Amino acid sequence: MAGGAIVNPSGGKDYPGKMTTFVLMTCLVAATGGLIFGYDIGISGGVTSMDSFLEKFFPSVSRKEKADKNTNQYCKFDSQLLTMFTSSLYLAALVASFLASTVTRKFGRKWSMFGGGITFLVGAAINGAAENVLMLILGRILLGVGVGFANQSVPVYLSEMAPARLRGMLNIGFQLMITIGILAANLINYGTAKIKGGWGWRVSLALAAVPAGIITLGSLFLPDTPNSLIERGHEEKAKSMLRKIRGTADIHLEYNDLLAASEESKTVQHPWRNIIERKYRAQLTMAILIPFFQQLTGINVIMFYAPVLFKTIGFGSDASLMSAVITGLVNVFATLVSIFTVDKLGRRKLFLFGGTQMLICQIIVGTLIAIKFGTSGEAHLSKLYAGAVVLFICLYVAGFAWSWGPLGWLVPSEIFPLEIRSAGQSINVSVNMFFTFIIAQAFLSMLCNMKFGLFYFFGGWVVIMTVFISFFLPETKNVPIEEMTIVWKNHWFWGKFISDDEIHVGNIEMGTGKPGTRASA
């Protein structure tokens, strides 16, 4: 191989460099963008289970809950207006992700994070001061814009800054921050629910300003990635930044590959048009199906509505919030497992192991609820029985947290070539937000109509997505982000969509940074 670059077992080059303190700190700060997403996921389910919140904004739901204790447990919270409070954020995030794509590409990843933090900050203030449903929804929309910008820029930033062999670990920092945000929200909800006077929900909603402030201030101190600097014409700055983040002066191989990828990206005038070309079929398919499948694992049923769900299946108000705290803790610690194994075991194994674990748990939880509640929705759970339900829900959450949770963000962010990366990440975020919106809006009605069968419904999707990963996702661990095309070319199915002369990084002559004969791997 010309230039003497090391070939790693996955088929890409292994550039010189090491994990530097600078990279670790910048990735840690950038990953805090996940806090705003996680905090919102956790907080919305908690406040919608608070009586004072329901009485003020959704009195019909409150009356329905209290009027008849024998009401079918599956249907007691079924309200489209209530679910609109939760799901409106994700519709706004969907739209915002397309604008964020342009900002990320034209101005850099850090300014997209900054814009997301500021918008989320304003949304938190409006929600905390809300006096009517209109203010609530307006605040949620602004929160959604913030989430759209953060989810667009943070995973890409992390994948571009990280050394290839540690990209999985550093990128999953985003998911770790999401889980910490969820846990913090659950703990805050548990505390604010006890505030006398019925205004605890205001504290819960307003405290979203804290994670928003962290990413807003943090983004101001973040450097741009070498990829982004080259893309915007700052080549000397990019070279200096690459030396700094790799901790070595021997960066010419990686720099030349980045430069060549950037030169090719400049020939693409319309990334949104180019992304549908045949040679990008594999990446586009993954950017659509992975976030689609991630939402159909059923995880957001648990995370959005954990307190409501536990209350619905017979837990008291305090017990339901505490159960949500427990699942939040499991989520955080299981994500740590993924951080320390993803670059060793690889993406595929975690996907397959996690999918199998989730499927088993969904079948068991659905069966446990079916035995007690049947189709009538009327039953009382003993502490032991309720504990068993929580146990298997926790095992399900753990399975998600070391597979589809972090990998649903990691894999799409690392597979796109530079010329369509912003567009590809926008598709990933928008599909994720769209189906998050659909699931959030439809869940309570689905629970009312499908009853315990809802868990089997999501279990069926887990079977489909696990089979899909098994056949169609190649292993991407340890492959430099600008070399990923080689992985798709070598895949039994996707290789047929890519001709030899379309491998824009694989055909770079090592050490020159200029197109030439494809270096053999």
> What's the pLDDT at 73?
60
Q: How many CB atoms lie within 10 A of CB 21?
A: 8
Helices (DSSP H) in 451-512: which residue ranges? 453-472, 485-489
> What's the pLDDT at 370?
85
Whether 192 contacts 185, CB under 8 Å: no
Q: Taking residues 181-198, what's their average pLDDT?
A: 88
Whether 34 contacts 174, CB under 8 Å: yes
Residue where the block lists tokens 């992985």: 487
**CA–CA separation, 321 and 323 (whole Å):** 5
User: In terms of pLDDT, which residue wins out, 467 or 445?
Assistant: 467
- For the ranges 98-102, 141-145, 388-392, the one whose mean pLDDT is highest: 141-145
> What's the pLDDT at 505?
44
**CA–CA separation, 370 and 361 (whole Å):** 14
Whether 11 contacts 486, CB under 8 Å: yes
Phi, psi at 7, each rounded to 5°: -100, 125
> What's the pLDDT at 208?
93
**CA–CA separation, 90 and 327 (whole Å):** 22
pLDDT tops 80 at residue 373: no
**CA–CA separation, 442 and 87 (whole Å):** 9
**CA–CA separation, 463 and 352 (whole Å):** 10
- Burial class of residue 250 in the structure, from the number of CB atoms within 10 Å of its CB (0-12 exposed, 13-18 middle, 19+ buried): exposed
Contacts of 475 (CB under 8 A, 6+ apart): 10, 346, 347, 348, 487
Whether 224 contacts 359, CB under 8 Å: no
pLDDT tops 60 at residue 279: yes
168-177, 312-321, 423-432, 508-517: least confidently modelled range? 508-517
Q: Which two tokens stand for residue 281?
A: 């079929």
Q: Which two tokens stand for residue 169?
A: 């670990």
Phi, psi at 73, each rounded to 5°: -65, -30
**What single DSSP character describes residue 313?**
T
Q: Taking residues 213-224, what's their average pLDDT?
A: 93
**CA–CA separation, 146 and 212 (whole Å):** 9
> What's the pLDDT at 417?
86
Whether 219 contacts 113, CB under 8 Å: yes
50-59, 375-384, 439-448: least confidently modelled range? 375-384
Residue 513: pLDDT band (50, 70, 90) is very low
- Burial class of residue 322 in the structure, from the number of CB atoms within 10 Å of its CB (0-12 exposed, 13-18 middle, 19+ buried): middle
CA 303 to chain centre: 13
Q: Taking residues 505-517, what's their average pLDDT?
A: 39
Element (H, E) at 437: helix 421-450
Whether 323 contacts 389, CB under 8 Å: no
Residue 517: pLDDT band (50, 70, 90) is very low
Residue where the block lists tokens 């307006």: 138
- Burial class of residue 210 in the structure, from the number of CB atoms within 10 Å of its CB (0-12 exposed, 13-18 middle, 19+ buried): middle
Whether 213 contacts 439, CB under 8 Å: no
Residue 374: pLDDT band (50, 70, 90) is confident
> What's the pLDDT at 10?
46
Sign of CA dihedral 265, 481, 411, 37: negative
**CA–CA separation, 211 and 113 (whole Å):** 12
What are the strands, taking DSSP E only, across 397-474?
none
The string of pLDDT tens digits covering residues 191-209 is 898 888 888 899 999 999 9
Question: What is the Rg, in whole angstroms, of the alpha carbon atoms belonging to the chain?
Answer: 23
Element (H, E) at 514: strand 514-515
Q: What percent of the chain has pLDDT over 90?
A: 41
Q: Taking residues 264-275, what's their average pLDDT?
A: 74
Q: State whether residue 374 is helix, strand or coil.
A: coil
77-86, 232-241, 418-427: least confidently modelled range? 77-86
**What single DSSP character describes residue 291?**
H
Enumerate long-range contacts of 377-380, CB under 8 Å, 24 or more apart.
377/71, 377/72, 377/73, 377/74, 377/75, 377/451, 378/70, 378/72, 378/73, 379/73, 379/314, 380/314
Whether 58 contacts 79, CB under 8 Å: yes
**CA–CA separation, 160 and 370 (whole Å):** 47
User: In terms of pLDDT, which residue wins out, 65 or 446?
Assistant: 446
Sign of CA dihedral 74, 144, 323, 132: negative
> What's the pLDDT at 83?
72
The string of pLDDT tens digits covering residues 32-48 is 999 998 998 888 877 87
pLDDT tops 90 at residue 282: yes
Residue 55: pLDDT band (50, 70, 90) is confident
Q: Taking residues 15-25, what's their average pLDDT?
A: 84
The string of pLDDT tens digits covering residues 388-425 is 888 888 999 999 999 999 999 899 989 988 778 888 88
